[in-house]
Structure formats: C-alpha cells, structure tokens
Amino acid sequence: MKKILTTPFAVLSKMKTRLFFTILLIAGSFNAATAQNFYFSDVSDTEAFLIPIKHKHWHGEQEVDAHCHTYKGNIVIPSETPKGKKVKGIFAECFIDCDITSIVIPASVDTVGYMAFAGCRNLRKVTIEDADTELRLYGSYGNSYCTLSGGWGEGAYEEVYIGRNYGNMGDCQTFRSDALKKVTIGPKVTFVPRGAFRDNPNLEEVEFLSNEAIDSIAERAFYNCPALTSIQLPSSVKVMGRYVFERCTGLQQVTLPTSLSIIPQETFRQCTALTDITIPANIDSIQAGTFYLCSGLKSIFIADGSKPLRLEGHSNNCLFQWSPLETIYVGRNIHLWGGHHPFSNAPAKALVIGPEVTEIWECTYGDLKHVTDVYSHAAEPPVCQPNVFNYGFDLRTQATLHVAPKSLSAYKKAEEWKEFFKFDPEGCNLNGDNEVNVGDVTMLVNMILGKVESTDVDADLNQDGSVNVGDVTMLINIILGK
C-alpha cells in the first residue's frame, strides 16, 4: 500500500530527498499576463505541492543544484493540477530569485515553505485569497528566511491583500518590504498575528474590509511603521497586545474599538504626531506607558461613563508624562495603580470634570502647575481623598473653579473644594462684562419682563426649566456671597 504523508514537515522533508526523482507535471495553465508552466509533486493520492525547478551543474569538482528561475511575470497559482489534484502547498524556495511581478495564492494552499519568494525583487503585489482555513507561512527568526520578506534583501512589493488567517511558523517578520504602502485585510480574517506588519517604513494605509470580523491584534502588529498616519480599527476588536503602535511616529489619528476593554502597555509609546485621543466608555484600564513620549499629544478626552477607569503607571513612567496636554476632560471616576500622577507636569490650562464623576483619588491631579481653570459639571461635589489638588503643587491657589450656580453653595462647603481661592458660577455673567454684579441682575430682570431681545444666554440659573424670579434670587445671593 502506498504510504501517505500527512504533516507539512514530513511532506517537505520527503520532497527534499526525492525532488529530482519525481515526475514533473507540466500544468500548462495561463494567467492574465503570461503563459506559465507549473510544476508539481504529489504528496498524496489527492494533493500536490507546487515546486521549484532545479538542474544539476558542476561547481569546481562538486555537482550542485541550481534554480532555473522558470516562473516569470504575473503568477496566479492554480488550485488544482492538470490531473485534478488539490494544490495544497508551495515548496520552500519555489520562486527564489524569479522575475515575478505579482502572485495570487489560492484558497486551496495551506502551507508556504521558507524563502518561497526570496530574492523576488520585482514582486509588487501579493494576494492571498479569502479562505476559512489558516495559511501556514514557514520561516525562521529574522528576515533572512521569511516567506515574504525578500530573503537576502528586503521585499519590494507595494501592496498586500490578506484574505485569511495565517500563522508565522518560525517567529519571523512575514510581511516586510521597504516598498510596502498598503495592506488590505479581508472579511474572513479574525486576528492579526504578532509583529505582522512591523518595521515597514513606508506603510501608509491599512484597510479592514469588515468591521465585525477581527477580534484580536497581537503585540507589535504595527510596531515602527512611521508613515502610517491614521487607522480605523474594527469595532469588533476585543483584545490587543502590547506595543501595537509603538514608534509609529507619523500616527495622527486612531479610533479605538468599542469592544476593547484594556489598552495594553506602551500601545502608543513614542507616537509623536498623535495630537488628541478619545478614551471611550468601554475601556476599563489603561496600562503603564501607553502614551509615554507622545510629545505631540495636546488633548485627552475620557468619555463619560459609570464604570471607573483604571490608570496604571509608576513614578518613572507616568501615563501622560512628556505630553504637552492643553486640555484634559475626565468623564468618569479614575482609580490609580502604581503611585503615579497621570498628568504630571502637563502644561494644561484647563481641567474639565464630567457630570458622572463622584469621587477623586489622591494624586489624580497632582503637579498640574499650569491649570488656571477647573470646570466641574458634577451636580454634587465629588468626594475627594486628601491631596487631590495639592500633591506637589496646589493648583487651588491659582485656578478658578467653575460650577453651576445651583451647585455653588455645596462646593463651597465640601472638603478639598472649599479651599479654592476663586469660584465662578457658570452662566451668571449675563451681560458679558466678565464680572458677576448688579448689571447681570438688571439684565435678568429685563429678560423676565421681555425687555431684552432673544439671546443665546442660558439664564435658567437654578435649572428649574424656566427663567423666573427664582433665578433672580439665586443671582443676588451669589453676588452677596450667600
């Protein structure tokens, strides 16, 4: 009975020894640009591998193998041999040094050997067709023996379409090309492997064709891609690894997935072009160093939410250290882990606290030496631990606290809040002279009597749904300090 080889390693090993004794089958198939003869070796009764063509020649006194460089032009690998066998794999070094310009790998192929496309310096486009099965790409650590990294010299291809999940068998940088500009990820791909597109200096565009398929992106997937300026991650992503966008120095915009719960360690470290970031309500935790050395980050918006946000860090690696933040909006409770000041030394002049904040932990706003205005939209003063505003520097000595007129009395009595030197009841400066005085009372009375034309000023100071004498009473009490 004929022995059937079942594992890729057994297949590759067996083929290596019998390569020159197998019967080569000329496929005679055609693609869009070039008539192409394909050569196969059977690996079972129903499957075959695409193989390179070699010939014997003498090197000194030794007979050695040499590649014939048979394959040329635009290559579309057939899914079946002329005898109807499934094309299951591409043998190692199959296209080595071949003058091919594009390659299409069909859904039938599940194995590509190491250095299969090494030295293909004119290869411009790689297409891996959609499939439900995983494609195994063999290589070894580093670039020298990776499937699509160009072998001895980086790849030259500019565009890649990936239509299925794939695995790096050997921990190599599979897609590495100094010329790569665009990556398109098809709807059947559910995860992006570790280091998938790292160190591609000219990668400008990453497109996900499905917003629902991808559930995980492994660490360093886009590490050190300085030409990448923006990316829209699918909303379905639930898990991301560490360092995914580290050293993407051109990254200006990123939309975080609504299914993600943790932003891992140093995800955006040294993204120097990133100017603003929104942390959606679904994020539970931001790990240490996530925005470390983001020297262009000017605005952080933590969306309103009822769940606390855990911020991790330590004294030498604060979350937003070295970021020139100008505006900080905090829409929910923050829990600190690691004894750090998350906004330490930020040059922000405005700190905005959202309506759903109910508590503030010690050190949260320590060392904010440049803040001149604190806006709290919480109706009730959030409960503060000691040293919330004065850890390292007491911002209450220079900042004005802006609160709703209806809440002013409560803030003036609450611990930590009552230590602010200056209070500003928001919306009370009705006449725009930058002071709350009798002129504002006069304007409010005239508004009630209909003597003032329609205005954009919201004069419902006590927030009872209408402008009336109750608002006048509140405004007079504010002026009198009551």
* Span between the terminal Cα atoms of the chain, in Å: 101
Residues 452 and 318 in one domain: no
pLDDT at 149: 56
CA distance 49 to 51: 6
Q: What confidence category does residue 5 fall into, taking pLDDT thresholds of 50, 70 and 90?
A: very low
Is residue 433, in this structure, part of any structural domain at all?
no
Domain contains 358: yes
* 15-57: pLDDT as tens digits: 443 433 333 333 334 343 344 588 899 999 999 999 887 645 4
Residues 261-272, mean pLDDT to the nearest whole number: 94
Is 66 part of a structural domain of the chain? Answer: yes
Q: Are residues 422 and 452 in the same domain?
A: no
Q: Is position 186 within any domain?
A: no
DSSP labels for 124-183?
-EEEE---SSPEEEE--SBSTT-SBS-SSS-B---EEEE-S-EEEETSB-SB-BTT--EE
Examine residue 208 and state whether it is found in any structural domain, yes or no. Answer: no
Give pLDDT tens digits for 90-140: 988 888 888 889 999 999 999 998 888 888 888 899 999 999 999 998 875
Same domain for 160 and 30: yes
Q: Which two tokens stand for residue 56?
A: 């014997």
Mean pLDDT value of segment 286-313: 91
The pairing of beta strand 62-67 with beta strand 54-59: antiparallel
Q: Given a cut of 90, is residue 445 above it in pLDDT?
A: no
Number of domains in the chain: 3
**470 and 382 share one domain:** no
Show which of 132, 159, 180 is a domain's final residue. Answer: 180
Indicate if 404 and 273 belong to the same structural domain: yes
Beta strand ranges found along 361-434 (DSSP E): 373-376, 383-384, 400-403, 422-425
Query: What's 207-268 look like in SS3?
Result: EECCCCCCCEECCCCCCCCCCCCEEECCCCCCEECCCCCCCCCCCCEEECCCCCCEECCCCC
**How far is Cα 174 from Cα 40, in angstroms, rounded to an integer?**
24
Shared domain for 41 and 174, answered yes or no, is yes
Q: Do both 22 and 162 map to the same domain?
A: yes
Whether the Cβ atoms of residue 73 and residue 101 lie closer than 8 Å to each other: yes
Side chain identity at residue 140, one-letter code = S
Asked whether residue 218 is domain-assigned, the answer is no
Boundary-marking domain end, from 163, 180, 197: 180
Distance CA 149, CA 177 (A): 6
Residue 316: pLDDT over 70:
no
Q: Tell me the C-alpha distance between 338 and 415, whole Å.
A: 25
Query: Does 89 share its domain with 173?
Result: yes
| Enclosing domain of residue 49 | 1-180
Among the listed ranges 256-270, 279-293, 468-482, which one has the minimum average pLDDT value? 468-482
**Range 223-228 average pLDDT:** 97
Distance separating alpha carbons of residues 159 and 102, to the nearest angstrom: 10
Is residue 272 located within the same domain as residue 409?
A: yes
Instruction: Find the mean pLDDT for residues 215-233.
Output: 96
Is there a single domain that holds both residue 290 and residue 391? yes
| pLDDT score for 10 | 43
What mean pLDDT is predicted for residues 150-154?
Answer: 46
Q: Is a pLDDT exceeding 60 seen at residue 7?
A: no
Higher per-residue confidence, 309 vs 150: 309
CATH of the domain at 378: 3.80.10.10
Q: So what's the pLDDT on residue 250?
A: 97
Give the C-alpha distances (Å, rounded to integers) separating 433 from 226, 430, 445: 49, 8, 17
Which range (88-97, 215-224, 243-252, 440-449) has the least confidence? 440-449
| Same domain membership, residue 273 and residue 417 | yes
Residue 410 sits in the same domain as residue 469? no
Sign of CA dihedral 462, 465, 468, 470: negative
Mean pLDDT of the chain: 82
Whole-number pLDDT of residue 284: 95
What pLDDT does residue 4 have?
Answer: 39
Question: Could you tell me which residue, 456 or 383, shows the higher pLDDT?
Answer: 383
In the listed set 160, 180, 200, which residue is the last one of a domain according to the structure?
180
Residue 185 located in a structural domain: no
Q: What is the pLDDT of residues 160-207, one digit of tens each?
A: 999 999 987 665 667 888 889 999 999 999 999 998 899 999 999 999
Whether 126 is covered by a domain: the verdict is yes
